[in-house]
Amino acid sequence: MAQPLPDFNELSPERRIELAEALWESLGNDPASVPLTAGQKEELDRRVAAYRADRDPGSPWREVLDRIENRSR
């Protein structure tokens, strides 16, 4: 039998974050059990097709990291 859920409002913000992280991480244990939406599948198909056609080769990792670091300055 499933345990009843706690009253989340009674928990500290830190505890709620811990529980949310644990729940989120548990989804990664079996990614196939989390189905994609039609929109997500279409976007992934579009990206794969663009990659295969070499229209969008992406950016080198160093360039991506530099952009991220410069954005936070």
Q: Give 1-67 as a DSSP string.
A: -PPPPP-GGGS-HHHHHHHHHHHHHHHTT-GGGSPPPHHHHHHHHHHHHHHHHTS-----HHHHHHH
pLDDT at residue 56 tops 80 = no
DSSP at 73: -
Which amino acid is it at 61?
W
Residue with tokens 């706690």: 6
2-6, 7-11, 61-65: lowest mean pLDDT where? 2-6
Total domains in the chain come to 1
Residue span of the structural domain in which 47 resides = 36-73
pTM listed for this prediction? 0.46
From CA 44, how far away is CA 41, in angstroms rounded?
5
pLDDT at residue 15 tops 70 = yes
How does the average pLDDT of the chain come out, rounded?
A: 89
41 is a domain residue: yes
